[in-house]
Amino acid sequence: MHNGERTKSWNMTKQIRSLKESQEIPELDLAYNVGIIYEAGLDTTNIALEVFTLACATQPRFMTSAQEELDRVVGRDRLLDFSDQADLPYISAVVKEVLRWRPVSAGGIPHAVTQDDEYMGYRIPKGATVIGNHWSIHMDDSIFPDPMSFRPERWLENPDLPLYAFGFGRRACTGQHISNNSLLIIIARILWAYDVKPGLDGDGKEVEIDDMAFTSGFNSRPEPFEVRFVPRSEKVVEVVRREFDEAEKDIDVLLQGVREAQGLSAAAAIKR
């Protein structure tokens, strides 16, 4: 909290501290609330990107279709941005398949029942802990045929397929739209620029990667594995280097931009 409040620019710590409701919250609880927001967003997004990389290395066929779409829509002379999003349905399907194929929280988030209930003949008393098992739901072959295969096409063939990686109902993850957008832009840019391949052993042969080797815990991530990010062309290297050189790197400037965008979004919502 102290470090966040000392920075020059706007940040989430200052935002939460400024709220009227925050004045009645103990300092330790306030620090916990700030920390959990960052932790919930950063770790889960990182894990999803590891899962994407794992899919590229173990089930790479989808990359061809994804790169064909990117080359057609974006071309080879620039990095894509969010203005391209509506024209990239296959990339959007890749993001959904990442979240389905190996859900970050495989066991789901525990919730407490607020009143006595009955489900399929089972009595569920008030206060009981219930868990929506994300893994089992997303591996139901009556809904997702061949569920162990990484097939983004399933989301294009049936746009009404359910996705529960962010939870259920009004208790679903409030940051799901930020997460989706972050995953889409990062995944799309990786596929635009690179072929993702398994790492090489001492003999120059591709290493074997187990796509079921995951850590245990509340959030589950792939066990460490080696991959190579191979530029798709020399032109790609030029574009990526140019974009990096031109990108804003001052964290205070970036955070202030987030604050200004937040203000514009709030103003637009009020006008509507």
CB-facing half-sphere around the CA of 242: CA atoms within 13 A? 9
Q: Is 96 part of any domain?
A: yes
Percent of the chain's residues with pLDDT above 90: 66
Q: Is 23 part of any domain?
A: yes
Q: Residue 178 belongs to a domain with what CATH number?
A: 1.10.630.10
173 has binding-site annotation: yes
Q: Is 201 part of any domain?
A: yes
What angle do the packed helices 27-58 and 89-101 form, to 10 degrees? 110
At 93-145, the pLDDT tens digits run: 999 999 999 999 988 888 899 999 999 999 999 999 998 899 999 999 999 99
Pair 192, 70: CB distance under 8 Å: yes
Confidence of residue 61 (pLDDT cuts 50, 70, 90): very high
Q: Is 134 part of any domain?
A: no
| DSSP conformation class of 82 | G
Q: How far apart are CA 74 and CA 70, in angstroms?
A: 5
pLDDT at 270 over 60: no
For residue 100, how many other CB atoms are within 10 A of its CB?
A: 25
Confidence of residue 74 (pLDDT cuts 50, 70, 90): very high
- This prediction's pTM: 0.88
Q: Is 78 part of any domain?
A: yes
Q: Is 207 part of any domain?
A: yes
At 212-226, the pLDDT tens digits run: 999 998 899 999 999
- CA 236 → CA 68, 130, 189, distances in Å? 15, 48, 11
Domain count, the chain: 1
pLDDT at 150 (0 to 100): 99
Q: Is 128 part of any domain?
A: no
Q: Is 131 part of any domain?
A: no
Q: Which domain range does residue 205 map to?
A: 2-102+148-154+170-271
Percent of the chain's residues with pLDDT above 70: 97
